Amino acid sequence: MAGLASTMGSGAMTNSFEEIFTSDVALFIGTNTTWNHPVFASMVKRAVRQGLKVIVCDPRRIDLVDYADIWIQQKNGSDVALLMGLQHIIFHEGWEDKAYIEERLENIEEYRKSLEFFTPSKVEELTGVDRELLFKAAKLYATSGRGALYYCMGITQHSHGVDNVKACVNMQMISGNVGHEGGGVNPLRGQNNVQGACDMGGLPNVYAGYQPVTSEDARKKFMEYWGLPEDNVSLEIGMTLTRMINACGEKIKALYCLGENPMISDPNQNHVREALESLDLLVVQDIFQTETGEMADVVLPGVTFAEKQGTITNSERLVQLTNQAIEPTGDVRQDYEIIADLAGRMGHSGFPNTAEALWKEIKDLTPQYHGMTWDRIRESGLQWPCPAEDHPGTKFLHKDKFARGKGILTPLEYKPPAEEPDADWPMVLSTGRMLQHFHTGTMTRKTDVLDALVPTGNVEIHPADAENLGIADGDKVRVSSRRGSIETTALVVERVAPGSIFIPWHFAEAAANVLTNDALDPVASIPEYKVCAARLEKVA
């Protein structure tokens, strides 16, 4: 969101899923789409059969490569070099959209100057990608017509993740692919309501609707609505989750985790455990007991999606109404009832404690949602921004101008990963999700069918590396990094590059995030889950 908002003025997917059928070419980078977004992936496959050209950029040979015209296998952590290198070629060959750049963009000269570094020979050195393949990809993308770019956490989860996103934005801006159907900068969200959580102010720097907490006007608006004195809420930006973990036991004495399982999902797990153990109070509110809940002083049982009434906002900004399908059973309560009750006990009565009251507050305080009613979104939903009740919603953003006026082209430098392999730690470890499991496994590993399909984790290793290390498929192995070790099973496959290994992170008994690096992006504070130095050995 930081990269999108600072360059275009809006931190969301610019276009709609169905627009893949109006695109001429699509570039997928840092997204294992068939595993992580299988419904959208089925649309991509149909679009390919209808003539869509596809470029896939990924260090692993993911399934989407089977549908691609070009596969670029860049080194882990080299995405800025790759994307800026493609842009260097586009300008050198005169394939950029000159009229669009002149009319709609700014900071062009500084950006062009930064491209000088990313020559084909330099990019080949940094990424490991042959310069002829770079040229072929640049030509296909820049000369095929309407182009859409899709990315996921393979782009964002780096110590320079914001730069990666800005490189994606640059690519779309210079090719004139923002502000019309079939184009766009399209982040595929990692969970089903991440966009909605961000829209509602689930970030340390904004209220609902991305209204800055540093703004006096925004503070006044919200404090008046809530009936509070203005000085009741600080103008200072708060902490991200990753920085909260680092502050536990010092600045932070109590932590309230709602639907979050940092004991599996956060990097450098030994550090996370030490941080949570240093708290005076840990509260966990969730639908099942989790690894974090096992450490908690208080566990508050909430309800599942099927037991709730409310809205979910997906990647394409589509706000959809969910109806309660079943009655909750056991000693559970609606999440908003728990929160309202806690607020009341802390001296803040009148908290909204029904779905209807919450929706009224959303409409009143969130400009992008102002024109939505439950009746309007009941059948198929509406895409924000929807500022009035006669507004049809917005299929794609930045049609005639960017939300901030002119779009900003960003000059970028190449930055290596925070940790690279060496003699002691010769392998490059990356982590991610599987098709059969989701996030920390809180739900999917309690689902008999899914857990039977993939009951345990593994580490993917290239056959050449397996042979050198005397490891066979199915062997028990130990994977180590500077932060710890885990034992798991070897899966010998050619989809990982030689010198690289991949571990899915759903499995508590072989938790990949024991190993991952908690180096943070300086702007967004996201950890570098996708690259760290590691060592692999067979367990006797």
In the structure, what pLDDT confidence band is assigned to residue 61 with cuts at 50, 70 and 90? very high
- Assess contact for 273 and 511: CB atoms under 8 A: no
In the predicted model, what is the mean pLDDT of residues 281-289?
A: 96
Q: What is the mean pLDDT of the chain?
A: 94
Tell me what pLDDT residue 230 has: 76
Give the integer Cα–Cα distance in Å for 404 and 363.
23
In the structure, what pLDDT confidence band is assigned to residue 334 with cuts at 50, 70 and 90? very high
Tell me what pLDDT residue 42 has: 97
In the structure, what pLDDT confidence band is assigned to residue 43 with cuts at 50, 70 and 90? very high
In the predicted model, what is the mean pLDDT of residues 44-68?
A: 97
Which CATH number does 2-188 carry? 3.40.228.10
Tell me, what DSSP letter sits at residue 354? S
Return residue ranges of the chain for CATH 2.40.40.20.
427-538
In 3D, which of 70, 5, 72, 26 has the Cα closest to residue 172?
26
pLDDT tens digit sequence for 165-200: 999 999 999 999 999 999 999 999 988 899 999 999
Give the integer Cα–Cα distance in Å for 496 and 534.
15
More confident residue, 233 or 461: 461
Residues 6+ apart with CB under 8 A from 111: 170, 409, 410, 411
Give the integer Cα–Cα distance in Å for 283 and 275.
14
Between CA 94 and CA 104, with CA 98 as vertex, the angle to 5 degrees is: 150
Amino acid identity, position 495: R
Give the integer Cα–Cα distance in Å for 343 and 333.
15
- Measure the N-to-C terminal CA separation of the chain; round to a whole number of Å: 46
Indicate if the pLDDT at residue 315 is higher than 90. Answer: yes
Q: Can you read off the two tokens belonging to residue 124?
A: 């080949």
In the structure, what pLDDT confidence band is assigned to residue 5 with cuts at 50, 70 and 90? confident
pLDDT tens digit sequence for 358-417: 999 999 999 999 999 999 998 889 999 999 999 999 999 999 999 899 999 999 999 999
In the structure, what pLDDT confidence band is assigned to residue 533 with cuts at 50, 70 and 90? very high
Tell me what pLDDT residue 348 has: 87
Lowest mean pLDDT among 11-15, 97-101, 113-117: 11-15
Return residue ranges of the chain for CATH 3.40.50.740.
194-383
> Does residue 138 sit in helix, strand or coil?
helix
491 DSSP β-pair partners: 460
Please return the burial class of 404, using the count of CB atoms within 10 Å of its CB with bins 0-12, 13-18 and 19+: middle
Give the integer Cα–Cα distance in Å for 357 and 374.
12
Long-range contacts of 329-334 (CB under 8 A, 24+ apart): 330/301, 331/301, 332/287, 332/301, 332/302, 332/303, 332/307, 333/300, 333/301, 333/302, 333/303, 334/302, 334/303, 334/307, 334/308
Backbone angles phi, psi at 142, to 5 degrees: -80, -15
Indicate if the pLDDT at residue 164 is higher than 90. Answer: yes
Which CATH number does 427-538 carry? 2.40.40.20
pLDDT tens digit sequence for 407-448: 999 999 999 999 999 999 999 999 999 999 998 989 999 999
Between CA 1 and CA 109, with CA 150 as vertex, the angle to 5 degrees is: 70
Cis omega before residue 385 (within 30°)? yes
Tell me what pLDDT residue 219 has: 93
In the predicted model, what is the mean pLDDT of residues 457-463?
A: 96
Give the integer Cα–Cα distance in Å for 402 and 6.
11
Amino acid identity, position 8: M
Return residue ranges of the chain for CATH 3.40.228.10.
2-188
pLDDT tens digit sequence for 147-157: 999 999 999 99
- In degrees to the nearest 10, what's the CA dihedral of 239, 481, 59, 155? 0
Indicate if the pLDDT at residue 227 is higher than 80. Answer: yes
Tell me which of 3.40.50.300, 3.30.1950.10, 3.40.50.1580, 3.40.50.740 is the CATH number of domain 194-383. 3.40.50.740
Indicate if the pLDDT at residue 135 is higher than 90. Answer: yes
Tell me what pLDDT residue 525 has: 87
Alpha-carbon torsion (457, 460, 465, 470), positive or negative: positive
- For the question of whether the overall pTM of this predicted structure is more than 0.75, the answer is yes
